[in-house]
């Protein structure tokens, strides 16, 4: 049984920030205007901001995942969900596709995706292998769609998964909790952000090591 500390070693880990974008999070974004409640996403962002500050201080790489949709990626199957019409969500070069509340630093990679999983037809795996990453610390929205899809895919590619319960958000508590259940039961460990930052603090000289194990 691995301790959490083994799964968040900065030299072997990366934080993935999935789809924290205006259309997914802001009330005036495409999903908010369509009637989906974005309150949980907006409420999660300050916790994510604090966590990213801690990750950067610990030397843990941060990788931003950004959804961009364009006519050439709107396949017939993808558009079928919207009655054959291209979705208005996260169109390339629009306000809706921009990050909200958080943003990559100049030296932090941004991986553009066109599907739920950030591994599908992207450079994410190459970036992670180049950085010698073994463990993925998952954050972002929505918990049960793009974050979960990316985490599942990462697990299938032999990455350890640490899924942060308070740095992810969905459009209902049922969807959020269901995804957390799937993660802890089948794909990795679910932790709160303070569990991870406590490990990093311990590595920097704190007297207490978190007791969480998987």
The catalytic site residues sit at 19, 113, 146
* CB of 139 closer than 8 Å to CB of 17: yes
CA distances to 92, 103, 110, 117 from 106, rounded to whole Å, are 20, 9, 10, 24
How many angstroms separate the CA atoms of 82 and 75, rounded? 12
Q: Where are the beta strands (DSSP E) in the chain?
A: 13-18, 62-67, 110-113, 135-141, 160-169, 189-191
How many angstroms separate the CA atoms of 140 and 7, rounded? 19
In the DSSP assignment, the letter for residue 34 is: T
Q: Which residues contact 132 (CB under 8 A, 6 or more apart)?
A: 11, 12
């Amino acid at each position: 049984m691995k301790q959490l500390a083994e799964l968040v070693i900065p030299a072997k880990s990366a934080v993935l920030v999935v789809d924290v974008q205006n259309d997914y999070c802001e009330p005036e974004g495409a999903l908010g205007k369509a009637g989906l409640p974005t309150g949980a996403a907006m409420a999660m962002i300050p916790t994510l901001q604090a966590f990213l500050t801690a990750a950067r201080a610990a030397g843990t790489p941060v990788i931003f995942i950004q959804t961009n949709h364009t006519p050439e990626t709107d396949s017939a199957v993808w558009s079928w969900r919207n009655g054959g019409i291209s979705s208005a969500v996260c169109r390339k070069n629009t306000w809706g596709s921009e990050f909200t509340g958080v943003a990559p630093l100049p030296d932090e990679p941004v991986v553009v995706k066109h599907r739920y999983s950030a591994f599908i037809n992207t450079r994410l795996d190459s970036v992670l292998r180049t950085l010698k990453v073994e463990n993925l610390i998952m954050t972002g929205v929505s918990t049960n769609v793009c974050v979960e899809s990316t985490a599942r895919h990462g697990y299938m590619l032999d990455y350890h998964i640490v899924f942060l319960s308070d740095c992810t958000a969905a459009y209902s508590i049922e969807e959020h909790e269901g995804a957390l259940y799937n993660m802890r039961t089948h794909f990795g460990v679910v932790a709160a952000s303070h569990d991870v930052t406590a490990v990093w603090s311990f590595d920097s000289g704190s007297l207490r090591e978190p007791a969480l194990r998987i």
